[in-house]
Amino acid sequence: MKKISSFLLLLFLLAIVPAVVMLEVLFHDGLPEAQGQQAASQLEQSIRDHLPFQQQLRQMVTEVRYRLGMREQSSVFISENSLVENVSGPYGDFVRQNTQAILDFTERYGVSTYVALIPNSCVIRQDEIPPLATVYNQKSLFDYVYDRLAGSAICIDTYTSLYANNDKYLYYRTKELPTSLGGFYIYTAVGGKLGVAPREIEQFAIRPVLYDYYGELYEQFPYDRVQADILSVYELESFHREYQVTHYDGEEETPRVYYTLYPLYCLKEGQDATDLYLGGLSPRIDIRSTAPFEKRLLVFGDETMKSYLPFLTIHYDLITFVDLNTISDRQLEELDVYEYDQVLFAYSAESFMHTDIPSGIDRKQKESETEGEWSP
Amino acid sequence: MQLVSMTFLMVFLPLFVGLYWLCPAHGRKYLLAAACLAFYYQMQPRMFLPMLAAILLDYALIHFMSAHALGKSQRHFLVLFGVFKNIALIAVFGAAGAMHAGEVPYGYLVYSVTSIGYLVDVYCRKCPAEKNIASFLCFSAYFPKLAAGPVITGDEFLPQLKAPKPTLSGAASGFSRFVRGFAKIAILSTQLTSYYTALSSQMAQSPCVLAAWMLALTRGLQLYFYLSGLCDMAKGIAKMLGIWIPANFYYPAEAAGVDDFFSRFNVTVNRFLGKYVYLALGGEENGRMAGAINVMVVAMLSGLWFGIRLNYLVWGVYLGIFILLERYVLARALPRVPVVLMHLATVFIVVVSFAIFSGDTLSQSAGYLAVMFGLSGAPVYHGNFLYITSANLSILLIAVISSLGLVSRLDQLLKGRHGHLRALLGTVFTLLLYLLSVSMLIY
């Protein structure tokens, strides 16, 4: 008995399992191309990526850790049916840098500038967070930033509007992003300040397009009881509009054009399903509509735009969205701020605290200085 | 490729062990030597040649020392040269490591200490000089032990290399031991490290008494599981190859006394220090005072084994004081103390010692101690401490139970009476640990 179990154990764990794993690795990635230590780390990554039953193993670890009492794993709260990212406080000097960049922008261009900081789900869905857990107070961050910007830009409070409706489906359960409904409440707060008379929710036809969406948080923590997300699109019922959404991905690439706000084509496998909102993120996106308004809006923002921007398109004949993280210097140079009536900076609290992306607008100002474009 | 990695588990180990078993008995030492060199080269290509040169220098010194034509003074010079060379390696790279200055060769400490012991043994003619260079390479650079030991001696390792004959049951039990070590690191040590990190940042921001105690306890357990995990892996691999190497940890949490703790914690290092430092300094031959000083020197070196840092030195001194108390002051009274009390007192003393060990500086450790004993005015506990501890309480309990060797006792219990059940349970346990460890590693 002992000999048989010894033989089987060694055969299984020292021969069969490694052989299967290596076949998987060779089938997908082949042998590492690098040499020396790099080859070892490449191979390590390949094994981790192509380990059979990887999803099940991850699920098992998440479950075991959850059962052992770890309701927060690597800064993600695991509640009964959803995952919530615990966004920590500011990193380094980013908040000051980003705020200063916006101040400099308003001073230099003198256009109507609006700033909306969008809270992350952990401060809105407080009932899903374990008792005693500490969550960074994003409200105090908003107050600090808005105090500094007072008089230079119009600051928009999205927190109150979202928090007042926190019993609703405002954020995805498996991705750190506001849902379309969350986007609607952001739109009502933002639209009010932009002076566009936001529509009522009853004026939209709500059409669910995907019932089983699992976002990147679920990939990281595949906890069984987390419910799949539903992706819905909101379409204005009463007034028909035609849209043209043009994505400028790179300097060399041909622009992508969609004639809808919700290109369902993006639901194809391999692409993040939330890209169905406006076709996802790009360095620059121009959204033209047949709206009977001659107003133009320039938005500097992040992925949260997928939630609120489709609503704002109702009120503008042109909205240009700029992702300062990916836009090239040349693309930024080509952007003429004076073509727009209003400029909106809309970032999630996480982007504003943990990255210097908003301060990337500095690049635009530096170009203006060198070219002498700016006139007071 | 580290020892605790998917590449080692899925590629290096199966390939190496497979080839080793297929190899004729007399060729196995050459294969092992090649594997040791290959492992070292991929770990640190830039340090490969300097380390190889150091090993070859030791080999040359031993070779010359064993030559019959050599006089006593010449042999004396050679051994001193070899010992100083290795002490210099420890001092230079230890200091470099402490100051984060430059690359430090992987496993230089275990290698240097092993070499010192072997040089002295050959000089004292307690051990024959190894003529075969492949065997000497295996002894000096046996790759699984370089990370944390055990420190092996020539007389226990080298004779086994002549014609190692691994057996099926030995290989299976070696593999189980390897998996146990792997799991100690991938599961317990990793989780304890994240709890320890959370407690450290808690202590820096808003200290409380219970957090300080938990911090010290967690550091001790984390260190134990990390080091004993590596040593179990080394022992397990050796067993798969048909080689026996000593264990380095014998459930130190069960110690009844600080002296007993030292005989269970980092055993082979303490054995080395006892043999080559304590006894070399004369032990107790020159009186009690000299003996006490020698004990203290050994205790300090035990601390410095973990790195050149004042905290580690003071950790050794602190525990050394208790050893002296046990040996010289309380020697008659202690046998009358109930064993349970001895256990509890030892746990208390050792946990406090890890508050010293945990600090980056002495003042930080003093701060931890002040909080632990309520001298800093910090509250007993607060919400954040309860939150992070409630999330880690289960893993802490599992760690404490595992450190007590209950599984080993159960194994012993089944050994005589229920052989089949023991084999089955052992296999299932190994499979479970393997599965969990791999899952944790990719998580």
Q: What are A's interface residues with B at a Cβ cutoff of 8 A?
A: 1-3, 5-10, 12-15, 17-19, 21-22, 36-37, 40, 43-44, 47-48, 51, 54, 57-58, 60-62, 64, 68-72, 130-134
> Does the structure show a pLDDT above 90 at B185?
yes
Give the strand pairing for A112-118 and A154-157: parallel
Q: Three-state SS for A289?
A: strand
CA distances from B57 to A294, B145, B146 (A): 84, 21, 18
Interface probe for A, chosen from B5, B6, B9, B192 (most Cβ of A below 10 Å), is: B6
Q: Which residues of A touch B383 (CB under 8 A)?
A: 132, 134
Please give the Cα distance from B191 to B193 (Å, whole number): 5
Q: Which of A4, A9, A49 is nearest to B178 (CA)?
A: A9
Query: In B195-204, which positions are buried (b, 16+ CB within 10 angstroms) versus exposed (e)?
Result: bbebbbebbe
Q: Where do the domains of chain A lie? A: 2-73, 90-371
Q: Per residue in B298-329, pLDDT tens?
A: 999 999 989 888 999 999 999 999 999 998 88
- Based on C-alpha coordinates, what's the Rg of chain A? 24
Give me the sign of the Cα torsion angle B345, B350, B353, B355. negative
Q: Per residue in B11-56, pLDDT tens?
A: 899 999 999 999 888 889 999 999 999 999 888 888 889 899 999 9
Q: Peptide bond before B150: cis, by omega within 30 degrees of 0?
A: yes
Give the strand pairing for A229-236 and A204-213: antiparallel
pLDDT at residue B44, as a whole number: 86
Sequence-distant (6+) residues with CB within 8 A of B161 are B28, B29, B32, B132, B135, B138, B139, B243
Determine what percent of chain B is predicted with pLDDT higher than 70. Answer: 100
- Dig out the tokens for B435 from the structure: 């599965």
pLDDT at residue A372, as a whole number: 46
pLDDT at residue A374, as a whole number: 39
B382 Cα to chain A: minimum distance (Å): 9
A191 Cα to chain B: minimum distance (Å): 39
- C-alpha count within 13 angstroms, C-beta hemisphere, residue B78: 24
CA distances from B302 to A158, B226, B297 (A): 59, 17, 9
pLDDT at residue A376, as a whole number: 33
Written as one letter, the residue type at B287 is G
Q: Per residue in B278-304, pLDDT tens?
A: 888 888 888 888 889 999 999 999 999
A78 strand-pairing partners: A83
Q: Which residues of B touch A136 (CB under 8 A)?
A: none
The length of chain A is: 376
Please give the Cα distance from A266 to B18 (Å, whole number): 49
pLDDT at residue A262, as a whole number: 92
- Owner of token pair 């746990």: B347
- Dig out the tokens for B170 from the structure: 């030995």
Q: ipTM exceeding 0.90? A: no
Q: Which of B74, B93, B75 is nearest to B85 (CA)?
A: B93
| Pairs across A and B, CB distance < 8 A | 119
Residue window 13-52, chain B: list those with CB within 8 Å of chain A: 13-14, 17-18, 42, 45
pLDDT at residue A373, as a whole number: 45
Q: Which of A363, A356, A349, A376 is nearest to A138 (CA)?
A: A349
Please give the Cα distance from A4 to A10 (Å, whole number): 10
Please give the Cα distance from B299 to A247 (Å, whole number): 69
Sequence-distant (6+) residues with CB within 8 A of A281 are A275, A302, A303, A305, A306, A323, A326
Q: Per residue in B202-236, pLDDT tens?
A: 899 889 999 999 999 999 999 999 999 999 999 99
- C-alpha count within 13 angstroms, C-beta hemisphere, residue B120: 17
Long-range contacts of B299-308 (CB under 8 A, 24+ apart): B299/B262, B299/B323, B301/B273, B301/B277, B302/B262, B302/B266, B302/B269, B302/B270, B302/B273, B304/B94, B305/B109, B305/B266, B305/B269, B306/B357, B307/B94, B307/B97, B307/B98, B308/B94, B308/B95, B308/B97, B308/B98
Give me the sign of the Cα torsion angle B103, A45, A219, A183. positive
pLDDT at residue B35, as a whole number: 93
Please give the Cα distance from B202 to B206 (Å, whole number): 6
Q: Per residue in B128-145, pLDDT tens?
A: 888 889 999 999 999 888
pTM: 0.83
> Does the structure show a pLDDT above 60 at B111?
yes
Query: Does the distance separating the beta carbons of A71 and B1 come in below 8 Å?
Result: no
Q: Which residues of A touch B440 (CB under 8 A)?
A: 61
Please give the Cα distance from B351 to B353 (Å, whole number): 5
Q: Per residue in B148-176, pLDDT tens?
A: 878 998 888 888 888 788 888 888 889 99
Q: Where do the domains of chain B lie? A: 26-164, 170-442
- Dig out the tokens for B366 from the structure: 């003093």
Q: Which of A157, A138, A41, A53 is nearest to A95 (CA)?
A: A138
- Dig out the tokens for A240 from the structure: 């028909």
Of B5, B45, B419, the CB nearest to A44: B5
* Ranges of chain A with pLDDT below 50: 372-376
> Does the structure show a pLDDT above 90 at B69?
no
